[in-house]
Structure 1
Amino acid sequence: MGLGQALTCGLSDDAVRRRVRSRRWRQVYPRVFHASDHPWTDTSRTWAVVLWLGPRGVLSGPAAAFVHGLADRAPPVVGVTVPQRSRLRGRPGIVVRRRDLAPEDLGVRRGIRLTGVELTVLETALALPDGAAFLDRALQRHVPLPPLVAAYHRNLGARGWSRLRPLLVAAQDRTASRLERLFLQILRDAHLTGWVANLRIGSWEADVAFPEQRVAIELDGWAWHVEPGRFQGDRTKQNSLALTGWTVLRFTWADVTQRPDHVRAVVRRALALAA
């Protein structure tokens, strides 16, 4: 609870101080308090930062992703963005970034001022160890690709921005040709043979298949989700192959680029079980 809220509820400054002295309330930040009989959750921790920040800036990065519903947990350190000329300094558990944002990159959710969805997705992808997987999930569930690319261009020159370019290039590769090349290289490095790329199986075409073992592999490129009907078509295809005795494996961009050892192990296991 902020001091202003407490005063609005009829408490005096003295009443607030008495609650702090008796440890019924804990002062988290200047003019921000937490009632000791309430759990200290990700939500309450985020709200404490919001109350401390007030109109001086916006919630950003993974903390904004949490409020937008893009992430299940708030980060241990909450990020906020303030105007370039602001002198606001961080506090324990708060990191302050100085940057002037375009109006299109600002938003409000549940009464909280924060970065817009597109900028939040981009900044969170940079901040997380599994940023590529996060970006892929966000594209599938929360944000179309064109406005995400527009937000990227609006913020060119921002810290770490160059690391986003390869991810967005991959996301725009609708043919998934690069993903297929990377996957086939994994097979070659593992000395796996007997595979055929783009094998026709009945009325369907598998991205990669091992005909002898009847193992088919489907690769979900970054842009598959932006095409209406593609999701349903892929599932229909997978079911049809399974009903004709094929084992179907699916790998994402994140699997192929970040977990090649896992991909190799799964393919080897499927081939061994089918032998």
Structure 2
Amino acid sequence: MLNDFLRGQDGVLTLAQALRCGLSQDAVDRRVSSGHWRRCSPGVYFVDDRPFTDAARIRSAVWGYGKQAAASGLAAAWWHGLTRYAPDIVEVTVPRDARLLRRPGTRLRRRDLTPADVVERNTLQVTELALTVVEAAVRRGGGPALMDRALQRHLDLPRLWRAHLRNKGRHGSPRARLLLQAADDGARSEAERLLVKLLRAAGITGWKANYPIGGYKVDVAFPKAKVAIEVDGWAFHSDQQDFQIDRERQNKIALLGWQVLRFTWLDLVEHPSRVLAEIAAAIR
């Protein structure tokens, strides 16, 4: 029974589980004293005969705050498989009235989660997928790309909105609302406004917005340099028909002698300097 716990829990064990397996407190203490078990926090142990993996680190950090604790933010995102790399600091959410001190290697969030916002995955409590995406997308190391990937592969926008509205007032809530609004039906127009703002801030001149070329209107054009710029919303808003229409339109503009640059909303948010450098190179 003890080995079953250890195999399924990344080598991490609680005192309650050890007692359930028939060990006494003295037996647990002897294993700690001998160095066979490592005490991660009061009542949480790691059996030190295997690598201390990221999964073990996150699990022990969350369990160290008790039964009502849940991994959240980037730690939950990694646990759900939304990110490749586990965060160095484990974010843990506990009830608002929990009298707990923050432990090294963790970031403590105090708020009361509804039952709909907590799931158990691989025997660890974590924030539910939609709430995890909404929160992790505004953490440093997550970003809009995380939300974009989740919307393409895992869930839809209404589900994200519901999770956001259930948890208004949390850390990062205002920025999450802006991301959700940008991901809504106005994603393309939001990208156009952002491009214009970047051009003005960079002092780049000679462009015109919504410029007519060959029966189409391009988002931004540099008529003298014959450079046309098209901006897209997030990838999940484009179906196969939209993709085909955009490419036919781009080819016709190019055949009229224009160089066409395409950027996404994500390019403008995550890599504005690169976008501006490519535009400057094209108009030169």
What's the TM-score bracket when you normalise by the shorter of the two chains?
0.7 to 0.9
After superposition, the Cα gap between the structure-2 partners of 1:263 and 1:35, relative to the gap in structure 1 and judged at 3 Å, is: same
CA apart distance, 1:258: 4.8
1:152 pairs with one of 146, 150, 164 = 164
SS of the aligned residue for 2:59 comes to helix
**Equivalents in 1 of 2:80, 2:245: separation in Å?**
29
Structure 1 residue aligned with 2:43: 31
Q: In the TM superposition, what whole-angstrom CA distance separates every residue of 1:24-48 from its partner, at most 9, and x where no partner exists?
A: 3221111222233422222110111
**Equivalents in 2 of 1:23, 1:242: separation in Å?**
71
Q: Percent identity?
A: 43
More divergent stretch after superposition (28-37 vs 59-68): 28-37
**Equivalents in 2 of 1:176, 1:246: separation in Å?**
22
Tell me how large the CA RMSD over aligned residues is.
3.5
Structure 2 residue aligned with 1:135: 147
More divergent stretch after superposition (150-159 vs 246-255): 246-255
After superposition, the Cα gap between the structure-2 partners of 1:123 and 1:261, relative to the gap in structure 1 and judged at 3 Å, is: same
SS of the aligned residue for 2:92 comes to strand
Does 2:116 match 1:104?
A: yes
Structure 2 residue aligned with 1:261: 273
SS of the aligned residue for 1:268 comes to helix
Q: Provide the TM-score with structure 2 as the length reference.
A: 0.76
Following superposition of structure 1 onto structure 2, how do residues 73-84 of structure 1 map, counting pairs within 5 Å?
A: 73-84=85-96
Structure 1 residue aligned with 2:240: 229
**Equivalents in 1 of 2:263, 2:95: separation in Å?**
42
SS of the aligned residue for 1:127 comes to coil
Gaps of 5+ in 1: none
Contact between 2:191 and 2:265, CA under 8 Å: does it hold in 1?
yes
Does 2:174 match 1:162?
A: yes
Does 2:127 match 1:115?
A: yes
**Equivalents in 1 of 2:209, 2:171: separation in Å?**
43
More divergent stretch after superposition (41-50 vs 169-178): 169-178
After superposition, the Cα gap between the structure-2 partners of 1:231 and 1:105, relative to the gap in structure 1 and judged at 3 Å, is: farther
Q: In the TM superposition, what whole-angstrom CA distance separates every residue of 1:134-164 from its partner, at most 9, and x where no partner exists?
A: 3333333333111111222222233442233
Structure 2 residue aligned with 1:67: 79
Q: Provide the TM-score with structure 1 as the length reference.
A: 0.78
Contact between 1:118 and 1:147, CA under 8 Å: does it hold in 2?
yes
After superposition, the Cα gap between the structure-2 partners of 1:191 and 1:52, relative to the gap in structure 1 and judged at 3 Å, is: closer
Contact between 2:148 and 2:236, CA under 8 Å: does it hold in 1?
no
**Equivalents in 1 of 2:114, 2:19: separation in Å?**
34
After superposition, the Cα gap between the structure-2 partners of 1:134 and 1:243, relative to the gap in structure 1 and judged at 3 Å, is: same
CA apart distance, 1:243: 9.7
Contact between 1:238 and 1:248, CA under 8 Å: does it hold in 2?
no
1:86 pairs with one of 93, 98, 102 = 98
SS of the aligned residue for 1:81 comes to strand
Amino acid at match of 2:52: W
More divergent stretch after superposition (184-193 vs 118-127): 184-193
Does 2:204 match 1:191?
A: yes
* Number of residue pairs the alignment of both structures matches: 270
Does 2:191 match 1:174?
A: no
Structure 1 residue aligned with 2:5: none
After superposition, the Cα gap between the structure-2 partners of 1:129 and 1:64, relative to the gap in structure 1 and judged at 3 Å, is: closer
Structure 1 residue aligned with 2:137: 125
SS of the aligned residue for 1:163 comes to helix
**Equivalents in 1 of 2:38, 2:75: separation in Å?**
22
Gaps of 5+ in 2: 1-11
SS of the aligned residue for 2:193 comes to helix
**Equivalents in 1 of 2:34, 2:246: separation in Å?**
60
Structure 1 residue aligned with 2:31: 19
